[in-house]
């Protein structure tokens, strides 16, 4: 199994009021193809900063990040932007979509912008519709984004993140703005995508969400304090036991 993401001695420092704030301190980890890795930790521990740093959305202060063998800290901004568009998918807690476009048009927008995609608009639309069918939201394709539920909109964001067939999906609290039922639906879809081979790195505070991942990284004050390998989530009947064992480990970590 090949490594798709690797952080080596990764540091991120902010200067606030002339004072140095070391948010990430010599972080080392890797994610292999096909894994679904959750990053957990207390508020302010550096979880989101870590995701933004390894995905090239934020610059790093020291160390290195390899994405599919490419050192992203050495890339120019245009090259990084193309990498994010073509090889990465993003899902956020706040479901950012353009209000003047339909749900389907929002989903296919990254493919229409990519120089890598050589298909006609008709072919891109067909792929977008196929993703919407797969996630059970094809009926909202022509709706405005204000006319759908939060759960439907987040599943549309998953479709958008998949439209360019990314190597990795980065998700920052993807269920944080959803109720429990919608959260379960969205995580079921992400777990299904992972079983089909999509690599996912996500930030979460929710043990029920993390229990559906293959591995959990626990971060405190910018340092990785521990990792827990749960194995692949295959069956809902496993979930309660996975939640229990993960919760016990998190308590040992100081959760």
pLDDT surpassing 80 at residue 241: yes
Structure tokens at 15: 């200067």
Structure tokens at 99: 């209000």
pLDDT at 178: 83
pLDDT at 49: 94
Whole-number Å distance between alpha carbons of 70 and 230? 29
pLDDT surpassing 90 at residue 163: yes
pLDDT at 255: 86
pLDDT surpassing 80 at residue 101: yes
pLDDT surpassing 90 at residue 22: no
**Superfamily for domain range 3-253:** P-loop containing nucleotide triphosphate hydrolases (3.40.50.300)
Q: Domain extents for the chain? A: 3-253
Torsion of CA 190, 84, 112, 119, to 10 degrees: -80
pLDDT at 143: 96
Whole-number Å distance between alpha carbons of 75 and 83? 10
Distances (CA, A) of 104 to 34, 148, 173: 27, 12, 23
User: What is the overall mean pLDDT for the chain?
Assistant: 92
pLDDT per residue over 46-81, tens digit each? 999 999 999 999 999 999 999 999 999 999 999 999
Q: In terms of DSSP bridges, do strands 168-172 and 70-71 run parallel, antiparallel, or are they unpaired?
A: unpaired
pLDDT at 211: 95
pLDDT per residue over 102-147, tens digit each? 999 999 999 999 988 899 999 999 999 999 998 899 999 999 999 9
Kindly give, in sequence order, each residue whose CB lies less than 8 Å from that of residue 155, ignoring residues fewer than 6 positions away.
135, 136, 137, 185, 186, 189
Residue that is written with structure tokens 């989903």 in the block:
107
Structure tokens at 120: 């006609």
pLDDT at 93: 81
pLDDT at 79: 94
Whole-number Å distance between alpha carbons of 186 and 50? 23
pLDDT per residue over 164-216, tens digit each? 999 999 999 988 888 888 888 888 888 888 988 899 999 999 999 999 999 99
């Amino acid at each position: 199994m090949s490594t798709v993401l690797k952080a080596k001695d990764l540091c991120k420092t902010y200067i606030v009021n002339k004072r140095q704030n070391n948010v990430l301190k010599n972080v080392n980890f890797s994610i292999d193809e096909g894994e679904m890795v959750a990053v957990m930790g207390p508020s302010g521990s550096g979880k989101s900063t870590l995701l933004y740093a390894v995905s090239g959305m934020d610059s790093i202060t020291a160390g290195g990040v390899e994405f599919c063998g490419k050192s992203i800290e050495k890339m120019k901004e245009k090259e990084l932007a193309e990498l994010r568009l073509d090889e990465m998918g993003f899902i956020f807690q706040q479901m950012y979509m353009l209000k003047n476009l339909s749900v389907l048009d929002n989903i296919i927008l990254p493919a229409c912008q990519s120089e890598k995609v050589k298909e006609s608009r008709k072919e891109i639309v067909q792929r977008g519709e196929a993703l919407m069918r797969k996630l059970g939201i094809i009926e909202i394709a022509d709706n405005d984004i204000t006319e759908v539920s939060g759960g439907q909109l987040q599943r549309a964001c998953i479709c958008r993140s998949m439209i360019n067939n990314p190597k990795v999906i980065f998700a920052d609290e993807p269920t944080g703005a959803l109720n429990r039922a919608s959260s379960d639906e969205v995580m079921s879809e992400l777990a299904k995508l992972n079983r089909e081979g999509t690599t996912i790195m996500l930030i979460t505070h929710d043990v029920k969400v993390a229990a559906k991942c293959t591995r959990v990284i626990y971060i405190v004050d910018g340092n990785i304090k521990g990792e827990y390998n749960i194995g692949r989530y295959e069956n809902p009947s496993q979930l309660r036991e996975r939640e229990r064992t993960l919760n016990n480990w998190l308590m040992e970590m100081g959760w």
